[in-house]
Amino acid sequence: MRSVLSFFLPFFFVSLSAMADSEDGMHAPISIIKTIVPNKEFLHLPITMSAPLTWVRVEVDGVWQQEFDCRLTVTGKPDFFANLQVGQWKGKKVELIIEKLSEDAEAPSLFVQSDTMAQENTVYKEAYRPQFHFSARTGWINDPNGLVHYDGVWHIFFQHNPYSWDWGNMTWGHATSTDLLHWTEHPAAIQPDKLGTIFSGSGVVDWNNSSGFQKGTDKPLVFFFTYDGPSARYGHRATQGLAYSTDGGKTFVKYEKNPIIPHIIGGNRDPKVIWHKESKQWILALYMDREDYALFGSTNLKEWKQLSEIKNLGCSECPDFFPLAVNGDANNVKWVFWGGNGKYLIGSFDGNNFKPETPPLTNKYGGNDYAAMTFSDTPDGRRIQLSWMNHGEGVFRGMPFNHQFTIPRVLTLRTTPQGQVRLYTEPVEELKKLRGKLEEVTNVKIEDNETVLIPHDGELFDAELRINVGSANRLVINTVDRTIEYNVAEKWIALDGIRAPLELNEGMLNLRLIVDRTSIEVFAQDGEVQIAKVFRPKGGVVYTGIAVESIGGSAGIENAKVWKMQSVTCKIPSTS
């Protein structure tokens, strides 16, 4: 049975062409063509996560533009509304070909055009919304991408599914900040096309216009990503693509000759680009296959040749590659090669080959910390890193968004008390601007099997603890239903059972705890060890402090400071 329906809804004309798959047509999956002529910036799509998966193809004046899968509402109240950008097609004929949608689905009647993104009155007010960690307004996020600073603005891009709470439809979301704390989320920067969805990558400022993309006074911002063909119905095997901005990161154009690196092997992906001034070339680090990576070189950011390989890193995906001065000594610079799970190598780089000087190392032990990336072109030379707090699905169930990032953190190379050069990770100094009311405890002895409470009120806090382990065998610290334990004899620290080796210097345990509504990040010994974890808070529980227990002997709190943290509300940009 074939039926054709046409009717008017506010703001647009709709044409429905439906093909039923059952004899009587009742509740049958059909294909619908919805025609609109946009006069607003966004089309709000109703999403219900329990609804069947459908494909939506977007054509403008008969030309394919993009496609994505989503769970359009069949009946009842939607879980949330996704935002489809249509403002770039104002006045044109836009067709949404919706495949296999239930014939009685309510979704088409709920489509609404608007100049603002959906849920403007409720977004960022949800029960499990992080209060000072970045999270997208709606949809799934994973890896941070394209991190770059330009003209006083920090840009973060991120793997984003704008149309679902689940992974898929990988698109580069975009947000900006002037202080690394307050973020303004913008419409998607780089959309999938027929070469594939847009997987992870990086960004740089092309200060000398080696790419030739510059048009005005702004230097080109150039971005590198992986086209993942297998996750797009019309795509090809994974290749590397390029996009650029000539207006300071407001609009983005894909390079007309993409891909810039063809498929080489396996799932080759996640290009990370840096400038190497000594060899006067751009260097691109690329994950290849298994536990292997490769380095490429270019003088114009568009044409690349392979230089060398880096094998057996002990992880896969998401490379990062950068120099750091050991102990701040500019005459003693080492290179760090980083992989997706936080394994890293320290070594030297001559413009062609990276020579490791250590086995794979780690200082990151978190159960929810993956695909970290550092910013390019930081104004003060700091190596600032942001990471995805993965495996958070159970935490954010029922929310219109899924997952969050860590706080921004600074990486340094330092010599440990044991004489080894290692990577240290600490929160950025800017985070202290969110500190509010202070509670402080000094010089308190903790007897064997005694618990001392360091008071604080509220679910958001930043704590600095300096504890002398004394004669204790173990220290157990409880806060927001999380347990931190230090084992003196076995020299390890653990957060909720996630262990990391940690040797103290002169019996002093130094901890920095960053606690948000749905996460805790532990930095031990000034960042020698870092553990990050997400959790779903218990409703109705009032947290009154940090409990420190000494077991097997006495210990002492030399100093403990706990600051109540301010909530940061992500801003919604104006479309004017």
Cβ burial of 344 (10 Å; 0-12, 13-18, 19+) is buried
94: Cβ–Cβ under 8 A, 6 or more apart, which residues?
35, 36, 37, 38, 58, 59, 60, 86
d(C-alpha 162, C-alpha 44), whole Å: 11
Q: How many residues does the chain have?
A: 576
Q: What is 492-561 written as a DSSP string?
A: EEEETTEEEE---BTTEEEEEEEEETTEEEEEETTTTEEEEEE-PPPTT----EEEEEEESS-EEEEEEE
Residue type at 212? Answer: G
Q: Of 79, 143, 193, 270, which one is the catalytic site residue?
A: 143
- Residue whose structure tokens are 């940009």: 573
d(C-alpha 336, C-alpha 353), whole Å: 13
H or E segment and range at residue 110: helix 107-110
C-alpha distance from residue 210 to each of 221, 240, 269, 280 (Å): 11, 19, 24, 11
Q: Is position 143 annotated as part of the catalytic site?
A: yes
Burial 144-153 (b: 16+ CB within 10 A, else e): bbbbbbbeee
Coil, helix or strand at residue 283? strand
- CB distance 188 to 162 below 8 Å: yes
- CB distance 33 to 97 below 8 Å: yes
Residue type at 399? Answer: M
CB atoms inside a 10 Å sphere around CB 136: 24
| Partners of 427 in beta bridges | 409
CB atoms inside a 10 Å sphere around CB 261: 23
d(C-alpha 278, C-alpha 209), whole Å: 18
| 227: Cα within 13 Å, side-chain hemisphere | 25
SS (H, E, C) 238-260: CEEEEEEECCCCCCCEECCCCCC
In eight-state DSSP terms, residue 429 is G
- Residue whose structure tokens are 């000494």: 550
Catalytic residue set: 143
